Copies of this chain bind each other. A is one copy, B any other.
Amino acid sequence: MGSMVSKTENTWEVEAEKSRKVLRESIPEQWLLPQDKLPSSDRLNILSVPEESGLLTRKELDITESDATHLVEKMGAGEWSAEEVTIAFLKRATIGNQLVSFTSSINQSNLNNATEFMAEDAISRAKELDAWYAQHKKLMGPLHGVPISTKEHIWHKGRVASGGYVAQVDKIVPEDSHLVQLAKNAGAVFHLRTNEPLTLMTGDCHNNIFGQTLNPCHLKLSCGGSSGGEGASIGFKSAALGLGTDIGGSIRIPAAFNGIYGFRPSASRLPYDGIELPGAGQESVKCVIGPLAHSIDDINLLMKTILDQEPWDNEVSLVPLPWKKVDVSRKITVGIMWSDGIVHPHPPMNRVLKSAKEKLQAAGIKVIDWEPYKSMEILQLIITLFFPDGGKAITDLIALTGEPLSTGAATFLQHARELTVSENWAANAQRDRLRAEFHSLMKDRGVDVILCPPFVGAAPEMNKMDYGTYTMLWNLLDLPALVFPTGEVVDGRVDVVEEGYVPVNEIDKAQFERYDPKTFEGAPIGLQVVGKHLRDEETVAAAKLIESILKK
């Protein structure tokens, strides 16, 4: 697609406006909240606005509060139509996008979690599905009528995939990405495309085209990134299922921050064709696509639906492993990693982990304490392997327009150091050694899955997301990792600042000092379940078991 990207004579501001225009014109205005229904400007959690607004019917609220698995059941039973379902989610998405634009206490216009609505296509597709159902008396496929939102750089035929770079606002892509094609085969409806940060190499969500995406659980906290728009979309229930990408935590961080589910599969399982990042051909740390969801059942549904279509027959780099049905018994051993050994988690995270340990033990699950392993070496290595080109692929694309870089992305890019090919090889070999050692360690310790924080605590304040080791560890090691919401939120009455804790290093100190229960009050706390390489099914099944015990 390189030929579509070139220096223009316009300023970056003028170029960026092109994409904003696409967004504006795509918004279904008939579903916008009228001014008098907008929440007050001091409100932080806007999740219940759709219900309070009275603009969605009870059925539409029921629909949008369902997970995909339930939706499909209801559509299969003929109780809900695909069109009803699609319109319900479009309505909610319209409101969601409007709210994270206008209720923000930050004085900035064009704040969106959406980059483009695809309302017409989605409704027309839903009608086709309904007609199909009426004729055949059964669903078209396992994702029949499920409205899915997608991170912007996941291709939709004939639409722009800028990847958040102003230089790419004219990059119209020739086909749907492979995963989108397969989801469509299974009956999915794509109605919404969501925001992602410039460079994607940040755990926040700001770019110069669409601005800042907000966290609907707490408008002053980060929505996470890089699949931040997806985090906000699924968090607000603007879609039944979402698709994001993850090279360092970009699915799991927004999942954790928005109180939803996110899964990073092992590399080479889900189809990745039709997704482009600057620096194609980088394979030291592979970026993967994966679901953001409302339940673990939905993660299973997505994985199974896609892998049942044997995508490896069209995308040769994939591993030809069907999605197996596994039953995880209570005989598994869970290793709890209380800390990554670099940064001590915040009080609400410690509380949730402690409670998890007690509940798991009470349920008869064997739990051991997992000593972190070479976290600092892994952290340094993955950052090295993110940018062995010195960050050139990214900075060249930015330089084409001169658009400014966010502080977060700029800070991260500061670590970029160009390697020679020989140095890159040595770093690959180091990565392989760490993978082998870690795998042996899991076997030696008899641990099936690791339960650990996805982040230091709840979502950090906006634009203060600057620590990602808790997710990056698993990218370097290429282990499947699932984040789920514990149902717990930061509670100032119990989650008080730890008295007497002495930080062990400067990073720890900085993160420790950020904690103040007032800042995070009410923000959701997620946990992460990490399994063995290519044991994705076992990891998801273990997460389901753990979640069921924790929420009992």
Contact surface of A with B, Cβ cutoff 8 Å: 273, 279-283, 312-313, 315-317, 319-321, 388-389, 392-393, 418-422, 424-430, 432, 435-436, 439, 443, 478, 533-534
Contact = CB atoms under 8 A, between A and B. Distances in A.
8 contacts: A280-B429, A281-B425, A312-B534, A316-B478, A319-B321, A388-B421, A418-B420, A421-B421
Given A282-B428, A393-B422, 14 more contacts: A280-B426, A281-B426, A281-B427, A281-B429, A281-B430, A281-B432, A283-B428, A316-B435, A317-B432, A317-B435, A319-B319, A320-B321, A321-B321, A389-B422
Contacts of A283: 283, 428
A430 B313 CA distance: 20
A316 to B, nearest CB: 5
Given A312-B534, A534-B312, A424 B319 contact: no
Contact of A279 (B281, B419, B422): B422
A9 to B, nearest CB: 27
A203 to B, nearest CB: 24
A430 B280 CA distance: 9
A456 B17 CA distance: 59
A389 B429 CA distance: 15
Closest 9 CB pairs of A and B: A281-B425, A281-B428, A281-B429, A280-B429, A389-B422, A388-B421, A316-B439, A389-B421, A316-B533
Contacts of A312: 534
Contacts of A321: 319-321
Contacts of A279: 422, 425
A320 B422 contact: no
B280 A422 contact: no
Contact of A421 (B418, B436, B478): B418
Contacts of A319: 319, 321, 534
A550 to B, nearest CB: 29
Contact of A420 (B389, B436, B478): B389
A393 B426 CA distance: 11
B388 A436 contact: no
Contacts of A392: 422
Most chain B beta carbons < 10 A, residue from A281, A315, A428, A478: A281
Nearest to A315: B436
Nearest to A479: B316
Contacts of A320: 321, 534
A425 B389 contact: yes
